Amino acid sequence: MQTKLATLLGSLLLVVACQPTETPQATLQTPPTRIPTSKTSGPVQISYRFIEPPALNIPIHIELVLRSTRPGTALQLSYQAKGMTLVEPADITLPAIAANNSISHTITVLAQTEGEFRLVLTATLYTVDGQEQSTTHLIPVHIGNSAIPATVREKSDSRNTTDMPAQETRHR
């Protein structure tokens, strides 16, 4: 009798072991909706426009529109004019700007020679929780009719390289 019972239990275990088991189904989660961007956004978005076309020995007025992406207590704007003269102080503090609001500010520079120049802007937002977050932006300024030609330099490993200045196209 014990042999029959052992055989019956063995058969039962074999039947149970051969039964297909349910595999848990993977749950598909929808990824969060995102707005596609080409780069991450800083605390301040900077856009600009030349009030009049840049010219030699005439003050160049550039209107900046600064848009905050976070709430802040103050906004400091510093800039360097590479190859040009600043007509006003290089560091200014603007009033607090609310998140997703913008403020306009005009800066003035003077170019005394023809060529390609760069105005480097850094906007530092002082956030309500005491942090400092900065964004840097480059504004190219072209004075005169001459374009800066590409130059070829000889590298120490005998490979030639060509410097290619960036060209900006504006659509109005």
User: Per-residue pLDDT for 20 more than 90?
Assistant: no
List strand residue ranges (DSSP E) for 24-151, in order. Answer: 44-50, 60-68, 72-82, 85-86, 91-94, 102-110, 115-127, 132-143
pLDDT score of 169 more than 70: no
Checking if the pLDDT of 119 tops 60, the result is yes
CA 123 to chain centre: 13
Q: What is the pLDDT of residue 76?
A: 92
Domains and CATH numbers, the chain: 44-162 (2.60.40.10)
Instruction: Enter the DSSP assignment of 129.
Output: T
Which residue's entry shows tokens 């060529």? Answer: 115
Nearest to 64 by CA among 141, 123, 143: 123
10 — pLDDT class (breaks 50, 70, 90): low
